[in-house]
Structure 1
Amino acid sequence: MHSQKVISELDHKGQSNMLTKAAEDYLAALADELSISEARYDQASRSYASLGAWLHRPESTVLAYDPQVYVQGSFRLGTAIRPMNDEEEYDVDSICVLGNLGTGDLTQKQLKTLVGAEIKAYHRSQNMVKPVREGHRCWVLSYADGAQFHMDIVPAVPNAARQRLMLEASGFNLGWSDTALVITDNRSPVYEHISDDWQRSNPKGYAEWFQLRMGTIFEQRRRALAESIKASVEDIPVYRIRTPLQSAIMILKRHRDGMFVDRYDERPISIIITTLAAHAYNGEEKIADALYSVLSRMDQFIERDGHRCIIRNPSDPLENFADKWPQHPERERAFFEWLAQARHDFGELGRQVERRRFVASVQPRMGAVADRAAARLGPPPGSMLRPAAAAGVAATPASSALTFPNTRREPTSPKGFA
């Protein structure tokens, strides 16, 4: 077994009776402290909308190819978190799809060059100071220092027809194939050749799957917000709604960041944490319940093919998010090491009733955000700064049963593949 120093078993159905009310409040405060402002989301939205408008101007060299620019990744899913410090930037991942082109029309290099020329022209038109950078898959637009973010733009073309054929041949559901794409990657052996063998992607399909996993609570909160501001439900973007699943993922991502600050290349990637958490989420309505349910069950959704771990992309089950683990076994070990540590830290937190012990449980991995979350709760019960009548945080002893599985379970069939 991997380095899973895990503790016994959690019955997630009864966990709300095991957690102290104070622990629930503290976890909610952690999520609030990690969340980024609507202004940041709006800033990102305006940025890729502005680029999209540029690509649709009459002089655009890609206008005839039906360019579409939209956000992907954590900003699309509503799971983006604040950087750990003021020096770090928000990474806004976006896609630039040329809808009237396909893999038979041009090479990856030609597509990337075509899109890159327009991005560089946009950069000049906006008088942006920092140069456009080229990544393996994307072009990077870095905004002014005060903006504290950069945008990665990945060139892509549609791949729906070929994706349907591949999924049918393998017996998988065709559910999200209509939004399938292929993207550029200059590490590809066929980067400079006409070929169908491009890196696949499906950010829209993944976002639709993730929204389904958030369950009815997402739709309820979205409708309530729409009614409160007299808007249509469709006008409310995902990032304006925060569900317990999104909050749990944000907390786990920051715990991961703090744990691997000196081992960045080994850290479990966000898409793995997000996918396993979404599978494990069972409709819990409180952040604490969602977090403990996810921690208890997320490794059940790792399939095994002999000694190989498989974490399927729900929107493209032919893609394995853990495909790098065989070449980098330290990453597989790091995932289970992180999961064990998260189970330990949040297991300890859930048993506490004193605020200083909440902070001590997670501060080694969560950093300064642990203190800031405690400060959000106001003066602790019994403090001279807090009236006695207001000191109403429950202090019931926590159950010692708040524990997690100590054996690897056989994976169940993840929802959304068959």
Structure 2
Amino acid sequence: MYATDPFINELDDLLAGICLKLQITPTQHKLAEDRYISVSKWLSDKSSHFYIANSDIYPQGSLRLGTTVKPLVNQEYDLDLVCEMGLDWNNFDPIQVLDAVESRLKENDSYSKILERKNRCLRLNYANEFHMDVLPAAPDTVRNHGCIKVPDRKAEEWKESNPKGYAEWFERQANQFGEVLAKAKVEPLPDPEDPRGKSTLKYIVQLLKRSRDVAFENDEEVAPISIVLTTLAGMYYRGILSINEAFAYTLHSLTNEISANDTRIVVRNPANQDEDLSERWDNNHKAYNEFVKWVNELSDTWKKLNIVRGPELVKMLQELFGEKVTNDVIKERAEIISRARKEDSLGITKSGLLTTSLASGITQVRPNNFYGD
């Protein structure tokens, strides 16, 4: 399914431009990859007393999924690393495992200076742009299929998870019939995605995360976490190619689910139903209430956004996703469109995105510019 309305086509193009501005740059990706590889090598060094045979180190989170979002001021990109050790979790205290990973990182002079304890991981606070969360884990030999046990400092027990299975589920949802991600003992970060082949679902996740960041900029403690937004987007995705229409459908589905539940909605890891990704709402009712309020307001705003035109539309996009990124995209798109029209080379792809190519399967655009009218 794709849009044929010129307004929807150009709105899709503008939304895609915003997402591409927000995602990690090739330079940042290379820096993240270098840091990831360095930490992985340090943790997996066979000469270390920390070395555990059959360990598996791999990325998780937005960099693996292709859903990174440029942080707002004073925030950083996350780089999440799982250190799955080949040990029987039944025989180890979870806090001792956390302490062991912390001890190994402290043996490195560079890491010891930027190390921070978190509830389930050890964080390395690099100067500028990144922090890396190292999550210790052990295989769940009962469930298998990528399921793991991770230590929880507050609960003082092992908790369920499945980062690999989650990534595979998300890719299947994004591509409908996509292949699962490759596995390796120390897996590389996926290459930066070619925007022309990016799934609509990944755009939806980026838009949700960015609008969340803007809405909760002054109250980050109650902001819904990214894994919850990513899972909800994946659950509601139905293969709609139009970014605008898919986003509207996601919000419609989410508001319906919220209104149909007398208590909070429960968001579980599709790859491990024992992991409640939304469990923090149990002890933070304010956070859930703010989430519900934000979703309802965003849904109402999106309906209005599809009605307005010109400066009013631009203003709404600025309020949702940030003034600078919106202005930058509009300026770039206006220059590209103006140049392409003069050359009679402006077209629309089947997914509704503007292109300067008029190859087979691409429809030429008639003179119009909804966001400049």
- 1:322 aligns with 278
Which AA in structure 2 matches 1:142? N
**TM-aligned CA distance change 1:76 to 1:235, over 3 Å:** closer
- Cα distance in 2 between the residues matched to 1:304 and 1:353: 33
CA positional deviation for 1:212: 0.6
Aligned mates of 2:320, 2:285 — CA distance in 1: 23
2:67 matches 1:71: no
CA drift of 1:18 comes to 8.5
Please tell me the residue identity of whatever aligns with 1:200: E
Aligned partner of 1:93 among 76, 80, 97: 80
SS class of match (1:88): coil
Aligned twin of 1:151: 132
Letter of the 2:120 partner, please give it: R
In the other structure, the counterpart of 1:206 is: 166
Deviation at 1:257, TM superposition (A): 0.8
Other structure's SS at 1:22 match: helix
- Structure 1 position 93, deviation (Å): 1.4
Match of 1:350 in 2: 306
TM-score, length-normalised on structure 2?
0.80
For residue 348 of structure 1, report the CA deviation from its aligned partner. 2.6
The yes-or-no answer on 1:240 pairing with 2:227 is no
What pairs up with 1:157-176 in 2 under 5 angstroms? Answer: 157-161=138-142, 164=143
Q: Which has the higher contact order (CA 8 A, sep 6+)?
A: 1
Q: Note the C-alpha offset of 1:382.
A: 8.7
- Paired amino acid for 2:193: R
Deviation at 1:295, TM superposition (A): 2.1
- Indicate conservation of the 8 Å contact 2:146/2:165, yes or no: yes
Aligned to 1:360: 315
Corresponding residue number in structure 1 for 2:354: none
Tell whether the 8 Å contact from 1:325 to 1:331 is kept in structure 2 after alignment: yes
Distance 1:79 1:346 in 2: 21
Task: Single out whichever of 128-137 and 108-117 deviates more from structure 2.
Answer: 128-137
- CA drift of 1:299 comes to 4.3
Show the 5 A alignment for 1:278-357. 278-300=234-256, 307-354=263-310, 356-357=311-312
> What displacement does 1:26 show?
1.3
Distance 2:227 2:40 in 1: 26
- Which residue is 1:215 aligned to? 175
Pick closer, same or farther for the CA change 1:258–1:109 going to 2, 3 Å.
same
Percentage identity across paired residues of the two chains: 28
Match of 1:131 in 2: 114
Counterparts of 1:321 and 1:330 in 2: how far apart (Å)?
A: 17
* Letter of the 2:149 counterpart: V
Residue 237 of structure 1, CA deviation: 2.7
Give the TM-score taking structure 1 as reference length: 0.72
**Is contact 1:48-1:70 (8 Å) kept?**
no
CA offset at residue 263 of structure 1? 1.8
Range with bigger deviation, 259-268 or 283-292: 283-292
Change (3 A) 1:235 1:304: same
Distance in 2 separating the partners of 1:17 and 1:203? 39
Q: Distance in 2 between matches of 1:45 and 1:236?
A: 6
Supply the RMSD in Å over aligned alpha carbons: 3.3
Contact map agreement 1:182 1:198 (CA 8 A) in 2:
yes
Deviation at 1:256, TM superposition (A): 0.9
1:203 positional shift: 0.6
Partner of 1:410: none
SS in 1 for 2:280: coil
> Retained in 1: the 8 A contact 2:36–2:81?
yes
Unmatched 5+ stretches in structure 1: 1-12, 165-176, 192-196, 223-233, 398-418
CA spacing shift, 1:57–1:294, aligned 2, 3 Å:
same
Query: 2:16 is paired with a residue of what secondary structure?
Result: helix
C-alpha distance in 1 between matches for 2:90 and 2:257: 36
* Cα distance change on mapping 1:343 and 1:388 into 2, 3 Å: farther
Q: 2:34 aligns with which of 42, 46, 50?
A: 46
- Per-residue CA deviations over 1:325-383 (Å, capped at 9, x if unaligned) read 343222222222111222233323333442x3332112223222222221221249899
Aligned-residue offset at 1:15: 6.3
Who is 1:276 aligned against? 232
Residue 113 of structure 1 aligns to which amino acid in structure 2? Answer: D
Distance in 1 (CA, whole Å) between partners of 2:316 and 2:5 is 20
Q: Deviations over 1:282-307 (max 9, x none)?
A: 11223233222322223456697763
Distance 1:199 1:57, change over 3 A: same
Local SS of the residue matching 1:104 = helix
| Paired letter, 1:254 | R
State the shift of 1:308 in Å: 4.2
* The one of 132, 149, 152 aligned to 1:185: 152
**Is the Cα–Cα contact under 8 Å of residues 122 and 133 in structure 2 kept in the other structure?**
yes
Distance 1:132 1:261 in 2: 25
Equivalent AA in structure 2 for residue 338 of structure 1: W
2:199 counterpart letter in structure 1:
T
CA distance in 2, matches of 1:63, 1:151: 20
Aligned equivalents of 1:93, 1:102: Cα separation in 2: 23
